[in-house]
Amino acid sequence: MILAIRAPGLAFSGDAPSGLAMLDHADSCATPADRGMLLHQRAFILWQNGRLPEALKWFEKAEPMLEEHGPDWLYGALFHNRAAVWRELGELQKGLKSEQRARELFAVAGHHVHSTKAQHAEALFWLDLGEITRAISGFEQVRLLYREHAPELEAFVNGSYAEALMRVGMNRQAGEHCDEAIASWRLHGDVRNSAFTEYRRAVIAHESGDYEMAETWARQALDSLYSQGIETWSFLAQLLVLQARFDAERDDSGFSSKVDRLCDALESRGLTLRLDQARILAARSYIRAGDLETAQERLSRPLEAQGYEQLPANLARHLALAELARARNRDPFPALQAGLNLLDEYRTQFGSMEFQAGVSALGIQLASMGLTGATTSGSPVMMLEWAERCRGQALRIPPVKPSADPEAREALARLRQARQRLWDLQVEGKEADEALKRVHELEEEIRAYDRTKPGPRQQSERIPAERIHERARERGTVIVNLFEVGGYLRAVLAGAGSIRHVQLMKLDAAAETGRRLGADLDALGAPFKLPDRLRLSVEGSLRRNAEALADGIWYPISEFVGDRQVVIVPHSQIAWVPWPLLPPLRGRPMTVAPSSEAWMRAVSRPAVHGPALVAAGPALNTAGTEIDSIADLYPGAHLMRADESDPELILKALDGASVAHLAAHGHHEPDNVLFSRLDFRQGPLNAYELLGLDQPPGHVVLSSCDLGRSTVAVGHETLGFTAALLHAGTPTVVSSLGRVPDDLAAEMMVDYHRCCATGASPAEALAAVGENRPWHPFVCFGALSGIANQS
């Protein structure tokens, strides 16, 4: 018995032969009751060293003996460990069935920690099978069980959660979870799990496009795995090193042969996990080397991946097929479109707005190749269609209404109370660390709940470029679609004459100028009065930056646009540019849209005719006068004053409102965008809650700071308070891209609503009231008009 327990320890230290020899010695003196344990330990060591088919054989021999003689925990462990072998072999259904049997046995025997481990492994199988939301729900349950029975094991959940987030393109958050797990494993001296998580960290770095970091992490994992004798994962780490070198264009003349040898090693050991990835990498390397026949042969082999792995394998294969077509001077676009269509379908399985946006990251290489190819072709129609495939994809999916769920509403109520408690402590100047921690815990609880919601499994149809062009032309509008190819910002213009393409300034220069412009605007909107000399200096800087953007972006297209209304669809790196500040756009009706298709759907939405809502939050100096004056312009309006403002009542009044004006302090949360919020007396109104509206308001004005800002998720999707309203279905949102003084907001918004009340569209009204207020930060988002079909 002692020898059987010590043998795996030798294998873990990298001396598997000595461990197996120890079992041989123990076998000579073992009783029939002990033989099942010896066979199991032999299978275990063989598994740990990558000899998977042999491990399965010995697990099979051990099963009847352990069933008869026990111990019961080891009989359950046999199914648990054999499930892991099936997982590495890519036999997911067999592995899931074995893991579920292990969980049953552990539960019957009362082994809570082992049962929790089996439940965790079962969730990992759901993850592998592509049931991401089901897996995340399982991880959250397991996290609580670990905290109760084995707190030291919670780091396992961080690593698993990282893997789930990576599979929906949320690489930054996945990396943070991995870093936490690695630190925990190292602290406990667990080199084995540390190596596995280092490998996962390398994958995340690669998916984020940081190939140098990916290679560094992969080599670190490779060295550790190899020294421990963990052959299977050593091969996977080696594959990742090669993939990173290839994508960084640091492959050498013998690269294809190296990948082929790795394919042979994987195949000879029956390892289908990542085998497709290796074969496709080999094919792409042959394409790059000009050996197209060999590449074709590699790509003609059927994919062997199961579950989720089918998606990345298919995406990589379509990318390789497009590269092969291009190398043969054939059309690469069908392969690229087929790959992105798979991604579109995958996106619809998620109810979380974060996940829907993050999924776009998985198709960046396909979309980028398509957009570059369209630009090279010189066809503006193709450029517009491919620019549309690079952004706003989450907006094609109807929102799931998670906040309508009683559990979610209860959690939101607790969050509101916690936020109010935090606010009270901060106002009183008291210690608030525990209150802030509680707020973050509740936000994470709601966020985790949101991520488990299934998606609608449907999406809006794509709109051809010609229809977008014709619709814009009918409305006297030019849509300016900004995208990047070759380091340059480019515009595809639709709505006048024919669709055309114009090359603009360098994207890096535009992004940096836009950043400085935003910083200048924030400085002018500071709550304290700037000294005159400093104010003049900031205004001068703002003017220069605004003129630089006008020179680089607007003037090259101004003649084509003429005097038409303007819709700007910005590149993600200039999503924060306050376009009305550009001198030639001052006083001109314009709006900013997340995509051309989103604009077209917005202008086509039926009008909303419910009573207007006018509400104010606390601590605004001029809110009372502002909302009284605005409410008088809308007969029958719901008026909610600051001292009685309740976010629950505001949500009810928002549903079906023709127009809503919300004057309150706002907060954009770049690291947790669904909790960007407006402050009201009874607590905050979170962006997350807006997705639960049954009939979103037709026109929303946010008379507050920063809530026009958005966080750009990986994949060029944007998230934030304004984005949540647009995603929920509100056609037009007017909000601020920076700080705004209370008195300026109040004065300007009263004038704005007066213009709207006389029949002006939101874009026309904002242009009119902004013409003599040159440094205001308000922007009209969505559609030019808050009323559908109004030309």
pLDDT in tens, 619-655: 776 667 889 999 999 999 999 999 999 999 999 999 9
Say how far apart CA 682 and CA 618 lie, in whole Å: 10
Taking a C-beta distance cutoff of 8 angstroms, is the pair 565, 589 a contact? yes
Question: 733: which strand partners?
Answer: 700, 781
Answer whether residue 39 shows pLDDT above 60. yes
Answer whether residue 740 shows pLDDT above 50. yes
Q: How confident is the model at residue 672 (pLDDT cuts 50, 70, 90)?
A: confident
Q: How confident is the model at residue 791 (pLDDT cuts 50, 70, 90)?
A: very low
One-letter amino acid at 332 equals P
Question: 479: which strand partners?
Answer: 494, 567
pLDDT digits (tens, 9 = 90+) for 130-184: 999 999 999 999 999 999 999 988 888 988 988 999 999 889 889 998 999 899 8
Say how far apart CA 371 and CA 377 lie, in whole Å: 10
Answer whether residue 785 shows pLDDT above 70. no
What mean pLDDT is predicted for residues 259-281? 88
Q: How confident is the model at residue 24 (pLDDT cuts 50, 70, 90)?
A: low
C-alpha distances out from residue 357 to 352, 401, 432, Å: 9, 16, 33
Q: Looking at residue 594, what is its pLDDT?
A: 92
Q: Name the residue among 322, 315, 316, 371 with its Cα closest to residue 344.
A: 315
Q: How confident is the model at residue 413 (pLDDT cuts 50, 70, 90)?
A: confident
Taking a C-beta distance cutoff of 8 angstroms, is the pair 668, 721 a contact? yes
Q: Looking at residue 713, what is its pLDDT?
A: 57
Beta-strand relationship, 683-686 and 677-680:
antiparallel
Q: Name the residue among 390, 361, 372, 294 with its Cα closest to residue 333.
A: 372
Handedness of CA 172, 173, 178, 183 (dihedral sign): positive
- Mean pLDDT, rounded, of the chain: 89
Handedness of CA 134, 208, 157, 402 (dihedral sign): negative
Handedness of CA 134, 139, 144, 146 (dihedral sign): positive
Answer whether residue 49 shows pLDDT above 50. yes
- Sequence-distant (≥ 6) Cβ neighbours of residue 70 within 8 angstroms: 36
Q: How confident is the model at residue 420 (pLDDT cuts 50, 70, 90)?
A: confident
C-alpha distances out from residue 555 to 472, 515, 551, 676, Å: 21, 20, 5, 35
Q: Looking at residue 790, what is its pLDDT?
A: 34
Torsion angle, CA of 51/297/167/265, rounded to 10 degrees?
A: 20
Taking a C-beta distance cutoff of 8 angstroms, is the pair 158, 178 a contact? yes
Q: Looking at residue 86, what is its pLDDT?
A: 94
Q: Looking at residue 788, what is its pLDDT?
A: 35
Say how far apart CA 371 and CA 630 lie, in whole Å: 45
Answer whether residue 343 shows pLDDT above 50. yes
Give the whole-number percent of the chain exceeding pLDDT 90: 60
Distance from chain centroid for Cα 632: 42
Rounded to two decimals, the pTM is: 0.88
Say how far apart CA 250 and CA 244 lie, in whole Å: 9
Question: 732: which strand partners?
Answer: 699, 782
What mean pLDDT is predicted for residues 711-724? 71
Q: What are phi and psi of 359, to 5 degrees?
A: -55, -30
What mean pLDDT is predicted for residues 242-268? 92
Q: How confident is the model at residue 746 (pLDDT cuts 50, 70, 90)?
A: confident
